[in-house]
Chain A
Amino acid sequence: MDVIKEDQVLDCSGMLCPMPVVKTSKAIKTMEVGQVLKMVATDPGAPPDMEAWSRQTGNELLRSMQEDGKFVFFIRRTK
């Protein structure tokens, strides 16, 4: 897998729905279009939620994976 370089990291470990989505939404709005946010979560609802969030908002979910027992997402701000 190619390494994706993030511009900002957001740790949502320990947070439950809907906080990872809320924090991601706020964080991405502080970034430039084209920049990549790495979000880390432990909420088991996060993978389907981040897919839905990305589909709705149009921000691109570059990768959704598991690492060290956590869910890791790379999201590019598209607009």
Chain B
Amino acid sequence: MWKTNDPDVKKILYVQTHGEKDPERTATPFFLATAGAAMDNEVCIYFTMNGPQCLAKGNGEKIIIPRKGGNGKELKYFIDQALEMGVRLFVCQPSLDLHGYTMDDMIEGVEMIGGAAFNDMAVRADAVIAF
């Protein structure tokens, strides 16, 4: 949930619905969130539908962002960058069930919220951007 009460700090919520089947759609939310955090905004990413696959242990190394000509980067690079800038990562509880995950399958630092908390975050955000 949002931490800031400072009206000067803008809140951006990204929503990631894609997972391991769509590697080319996995890095950008982390990437934009990192830039958003570097601009002194409070930034969170909510992972729902196939999104939690991005945060499953081992998948950061397994999911390679394809790039023309090869030399794709591991998704982990983008996840670590976002975490280092203070971006917070939330998973949706029913989406964990969908993939047979528990919180133990998620990488360090991931927080869990449900649908009500997500909607509350969305209405209080300055921007919600969904992928």
Contacts and interface: CB of A to CB of B under 8 A. Distances in A.
A25 interface: yes
A24 B85 CA distance: 12
Contacts, number: 32
B59 interface: no
The interface residues of chain B, by DSSP majority, are classed as helix
A53 B40 CA distance: 9
Interface stretch (B15-23, B30-38, B110-118): B30-38
A17 B85 CA distance: 14
Contacts of A22: 34-35, 38, 81, 85
Interface residues of B, number: 11
Contacts of B10: 56
Interface in A14-40: 17-18, 21-22, 24-26
A9 interface: no
Interface residues of A, number: 12
A18 B10 CA distance: 19
A57 interface: yes
A62 interface: no
B34 A18 contact: yes
Interface of B: 10, 31-32, 34-35, 38-41, 81, 85
Given A18-B35, A25-B85, A56-B40, 9 more contacts: A18-B81, A22-B35, A22-B38, A25-B39, A26-B38, A52-B39, A53-B39, A56-B39, A57-B40
